[in-house]
Amino acid sequence: MMRMSCLITVINRRIMKLLVALGLIAYIASVWGTYTNMRMIQEHNELKIEQRIDEAVAPLREKIQDLELSLTQKYPPVKFLSEKDRKRILITGGAGFVGSHLTDKLMMDGHEVTVVDNFFTGRKRNVEHWIGHENFELINHDVVEPLYIEVDQIYHLASPASPPNYMYNPIKTLKTNTIGTLNMLGLAKRVGARLLLASTSEVYGDPEVHPQNEDYWGHVNPIGPRACYDEGKRVAETMCYAYMKQEGVEVRVARIFNTFGPRMHMNDGRVVSNFILQALQGEPLTVYGSGSQTRAFQYVSDLVNGLVSLMNSNISSPVNLGNPEEHTILEFAQMIKSLVVSRSHIQFLPEAQDDPQRRRPDIRKAKMLLGWEPVVSITSHYTAKKKNPMPDVNVDSDLKVVW
Ligand SMILES: NC(=O)c1ccc[n+]([C@@H]2O[C@H](COP(=O)([O-])OP(=O)(O)OC[C@H]3O[C@@H](n4cnc5c(N)ncnc54)[C@H](O)[C@@H]3O)[C@@H](O)[C@H]2O)c1
């Protein structure tokens, strides 16, 4: 009996121990479960907080990246010029078509360039790749107002150049070319700078001499719709020579013939951009008059090289800068149509008033005295393309001629 009760006690103790052990394990498991649950919740919350912080910081990070980028911004390669060779150059109208290419050339040559522009037809984006460069400055200024800066050379290009632009406000065109030029000549006189005037083949008007050389005095209608520009440039030339004779200012006068190239305004109404736009949009290419009037187009890089070489020469009399490769407007329309592979047809409209009938520069002077001549031919691309001619011909009975 005694033995029996001892055995039962031993068994009870073992069961008790087992139960206590199981209870302990269950407790530990529940504590662990709660702990891991809490941990998960905590981690989840931490993740959410981190996410929120990330979201809040992301724009700041982007801004810092932008700032770092702007500090290490890559500019086009610029030559190093010693102090003695580096010039301080002002380009008025430097944010325009020709001016921006001239800016590129002079910056890459290692000069300090200040562009002055009122952004009438020019655009900041034409020179934005230089903004922030230590050699470059962009000033929003109208040349009709005086300007006081220290420079060694002035390329005076400020003036609307395409007929719709200069006819838009003829009085302003006259003021820009007269008062603006007087202001720049005054500046040149004050600081002893050399000034190059971007004159134009329009000073020859509707010429009776062909091709036009620099000795020809021109045939301009002084009261026609183009007079604000033509006469404005003629008097600008007169002012240059008055300042040269009376005040000893060093002047250079470039008579620029039609120029084309990148950064031309698509909508500025010049014939090349007009035709390209119309051909791309499948609209008729509008030719004013019979299309037999001629023009000669030079590529902008040729012009820029000519301007720089004229500025640095000792030739103070006017010099023609243009490409003598002459074509009729109709030929240009066909060329562009073919290059764009466009199905547009050619539409003839009434002749524009005072539209010059023939235009071709005589560039013997530039060749002889500057050693300059254009190297980009407008027809080289066209002739290459002609080997693969356009197969289609459009028919449109409403129009006079259909190509
Ligand atoms: N592109 C040509 O085929 C051509 C032919 C002959 C002459 N030019 C002459 O070359 C120069 C540049 O012509 P472009 O084709 O580059 O024309 P553009 O219109 O692209 O450039 C002219 C620039 O002058 C600026 N400007 C105009 N009025 C101004 C003012 N009052 N103050 C400050 N800035 C002013 C414009 O905003 C623009 O940036 C012009 O003087 C033009 O007469 C050009």
pLDDT of residue 355: 80
Q: What percent of the chain has pLDDT over 70?
A: 90
What is the distance in A from the centroid of ligand 1 to the CA of 157?
5
Query: Ligand 1 in contact with 117 (CB < 6 A)?
Result: yes
- pTM value > 0.75: yes
* pLDDT tens digits for range 129-145: 999 999 999 999 999 99
For the chain, percent of residues with pLDDT exceeding 90? 64
Pair 297, 315: CB distance under 8 Å? no
Domain boundaries, the chain: 88-263+298-324+357-376
pLDDT score, position 370: 98
State the pLDDT at residue 182.
98
Is residue 218 packed enough to be buried (19+ CB in 10 Å), middle (13-18) or exposed (0-12)? middle
| Residue located via tokens 């200012």 | 249
Asked if residue 181 has its Cβ within 6 Å of ligand 1, the reply is no
**Position 146, amino acid:** P
**Structure confidence by residue, pLDDT tens digits, 299-338:** 999 999 999 999 999 999 999 999 999 999 999 899 999 9
Q: How confident is the model at residue 27 (pLDDT cuts 50, 70, 90)?
A: confident
| Of the candidates 160, 48, 154, the residue with the CA atom closest to the CA atom of residue 98 | 160
Least confident of 31-35, 110-114, 121-125, 349-353: 31-35
Among protein residues, the one whose CA lies closest to atom 42 of ligand 1: 161
| Higher per-residue pLDDT: 62 or 222 | 222
pLDDT category, 222, cuts 50, 70, 90? Answer: very high
DSSP 8-state class, residue 124: G
Alpha carbon distance 133, 329 (integer Å): 42
Asked whether residue 402 carries a pLDDT value surpassing 70, the answer given is no
Q: Per the residue annotation, which of 155, 166, 204, 229 is the catalytic one? A: 229
CA 116 vs. chain centroid, Å, equals: 15
pLDDT (0 to 100) of residue 391: 36
Q: What is the pLDDT of residues 47-72, one digit of tens each?
A: 888 888 888 888 888 877 776 766 56
Whether the CB of 180 sits within 6 Å of ligand 1: yes
Q: How far is CA 199 from CA 252, 342, 383, in A?
A: 10, 35, 32
Between 113 and 15, residue with greater pLDDT: 113
Under the banding of pLDDT at 50, 70 and 90, the label for residue 6 is low
* Listed residue (255, 256, 254, 279) closest to 266, CA to CA: 279
| Annotation says 204 is catalytic | no
Instruction: Please choose from 256, 265, 359 the residue to mutate so as to test ligand 1's pocket, defined by most ligand atoms within 8 A of CB.
Output: 256
CATH number of 88-263+298-324+357-376: 3.40.50.720
Decide: helix, strand or coil at residue 246. helix
pLDDT band at 1 (very low <50, low <70, confident <90, very high): low
Q: What is the pLDDT of residue 7?
A: 61
The pLDDT tens digits for 77-108 are 999 999 999 999 999 999 999 999 999 999 99
The pLDDT score that the predictor gives to residue 386 is: 57
DSSP conformation class of 281: T
Mean pLDDT score of the chain? 88
Q: List the one residue out of 85, 78, 116 whose CA is nearest residue 99.
A: 116
69 against 373, higher pLDDT? 373
Measured distance CA(68)–CA(64) in Å, rounded: 6
Say if CB 129 and CB 156 are below 8 A apart: no
Q: What is the pLDDT of residue 3?
A: 61
C-alpha pair distances (Å), 228 with each of 161, 166, 383: 11, 7, 38
Write down the pLDDT at residue 202.
Answer: 95
- The pLDDT, as a whole number, for residue 392 is 34
Which pLDDT does position 50 carry in this prediction?
Answer: 84
Look at residue 390 in the predicted model and tell me its pLDDT.
40
Report how far residue 166's alpha carbon sits from residue 173's, in angstroms, rounded to the nearest whole number: 6
Nearest atom within ligand 1 for CA of residue 201 = 6
Helix (H) or strand (E) holding 18: helix 2-71
Q: What is the spatial distance between Cα 345 and Cα 334, in angstroms, rounded to a whole number?
A: 9
Does pLDDT of 225 surpass 90? yes
Q: What is the pLDDT of residue 20?
A: 79
Give the N- to C-terminal CA distance of the chain in Å, as an integer: 130
Position with higher pLDDT, 41 vs 362: 362
| Ligand 1 atom closest to the CA of 300, numbered from 1 | 1
Q: Where are the alpha helices (DSSP H) in 72-94?
A: none
Mean pLDDT throughout 248-257? Answer: 98
- Lowest-pLDDT choice from 49-53, 194-198, 393-397: 393-397
